[in-house]
Chains A and B, each alone.
Chain A
Amino acid sequence: MSTVLGEAVLSALTAASFGLLYQVSGSNLLIASGIGGVAWLLAHGMGNATLLSDAVGALVVGGLAEFAAHWRREPVSVFVVPAIIVFVPGYLVYQSMVAFLKGHFVAGLQTGLTAIMAAGALGIGLALATAIIRPLVRGRQWLH
C-alpha cells in the first residue's frame, strides 16, 4: 500500500510537471496534479496494473476533470491532459520495440498488442467519463 501511495505522489508530480509544460498555472495546476494522484491511487490501489486499471484511471481522470472544469469554469482539457500522461502505455510500447529490435518477434507482437489494448482501455475510460459523467455534472448544457 505504501508503494502505491508513493507512486500516487509521483503521478501527481508528473501531472504537475506536464501541466507546467502545457502552460497551466496557479490553482488549476494544483487541481490537475491532485487528479493525477487520486486517479493513480484508485487505479492501482486494488492490485497490479491491468487493462482495467488503465480504464479506471482514465475514467477517474475524465470524471474528476468534468467536475473541476464545471467548478472552475475552465476547459476540461486543462485538467485531463496533464493528468492522463501517466496512464499512457509508454513502457509497453518500449518493450515491444526492444523485442522487435532484438528479433523476438512473438514477444514484440504480444507486448505491442497489449499496448494497443491499453490505449483502447484509456480511450474507453475517457469516453465513458465524457458520455456519462459530463451530462450528470452539467445537465443538458454541453460545453464549458
Chain B
Amino acid sequence: MDPTRSTPYEPSNVLAVIADAGVALLSSGAEVSRVEDTMERLAGAYQIGHLEAVVLPTALFVYAPDGQTILRRVRRRSVNLAVLAAVNQLSRDVARTPIPVDELKGRIGQAVARVRYPAWSHPLFAAAGAAFISQLMGGTRIDLAPAAVAGAITQLVRQRLRTSGVPGSVADLLSAVLAVMPALAAAWAGIPNPGAILVGAVMVLTPGLLMTTAVRDGIAGDLLSAAARLLEAFLSGAAIAAGASLSLYVYLALGGRWP
C-alpha cells in the first residue's frame, strides 16, 4: 500500500492489468484513442516503457518493449458510461500517484462492476425516456402512459436477453418485436397517434453510443474501428426496424387499424 515503493513488479502481471483496464473501457463503449491513451498512460506510470497497442472494437493487442504480448478478445459490449468515467479517473489518479499493481487490479475490478443504479430501476428510466420522447414526436398526454409501459417492457426484455447470452442483433430484434405491442394495443383502442408511442419505445434501443463513437473514431483516424462501429450501428438499427415491422405487419395483416 506504500505508493513510494518503486516497482520490482512482475512485468507480465502489470501488462495483464493494463490490458484489463483497456478491455474494461472497450467493453463499455470507449473510443479507440481513449483505450490506447489510457493503456499508454498506465504503462508510463509503471515504467514499462513505450507500449504498442492495437485496439479494435472486438479485440485488443498490447506489446511491451520487453517482448511480452497480450491479446484480449472483447465479446460483450454495452453502454455503461459509469465504467468509462471510473476507469478514466483511475488512470489519471494512477498516473499522478502510482499504486501497487494488486491494488490497481482490485480497483479496475471495482470500476467494471460499477453500476450506479440498481438493475430494477433501469426499466423505470427507460419508461421515463420513452414517455418524454413520445411527447416530442407529436404525441399528446394520452400517449404518456402507454409509451412509459412500452419503454419499461423494452428495457426489461433487453436486460433479460443480454444476461442470457443471446447475440446482440437477435436481442435487438426480439426487444423491438415486444416494444411495439403497447402501441398496437393503443391503436386497437383507437388512440389517434400510436406512432408516437411506438417511436418512444423503440428509441430506448437506439445505438446512440455506437454512432457517436464511430464518428469520433473516424475523426481520430481509427478507420477500422469507425467502419466496424458504423456497421454495428447499422445492423442494430436494421434489426430494430425489422422487429418493429414484423409486429406491425402481423397486426395489419390481421386487419388491425393503424392511422
Say if A and B assemble together. yes
A residues with a Cβ closer than 8 A to B are 7, 10-11, 13-14, 17-25, 28, 73-78, 80-81, 84-86, 88, 90-91, 93-95, 97-98, 100-102, 119, 122-123, 126-127, 130-131, 142-144
Report 27 cross-chain contacts, Cβ distance below 8 Å, ordered by A residue.
A7-B136, A10-B135, A11-B136, A13-B128, A14-B132, A17-B125, A17-B129, A20-B121, A23-B81, A23-B114, A23-B117, A25-B117, A75-B30, A77-B212, A78-B81, A80-B212, A81-B79, A84-B208, A84-B212, A85-B208, A88-B208, A90-B199, A119-B211, A127-B215, A130-B216, A130-B219, A144-B37
Is B12 among interface residues, defined by CB-CB distance under 8 A? no
B residues with a Cβ closer than 8 A to A are 29-31, 33-34, 37, 79-85, 88-89, 92, 114-117, 121-122, 125-126, 128-129, 132-133, 135-138, 155, 195, 198-199, 202-204, 206, 208-209, 211-213, 215-216, 218-220, 237, 241, 244-245, 248-249, 252, 258
- Knowing A21-B126, A85-B208, A143-B37 are in contact, say whether A97-B215 is a contact too (CB < 8 A): no
Known: A11-B136, A20-B117, A85-B206. 7 other contacts (CB 8 A): A20-B128, A23-B82, A74-B85, A75-B88, A123-B211, A131-B219, A143-B34
* Majority secondary structure of chain A interface residues (helix, strand, loop or mixed): helix
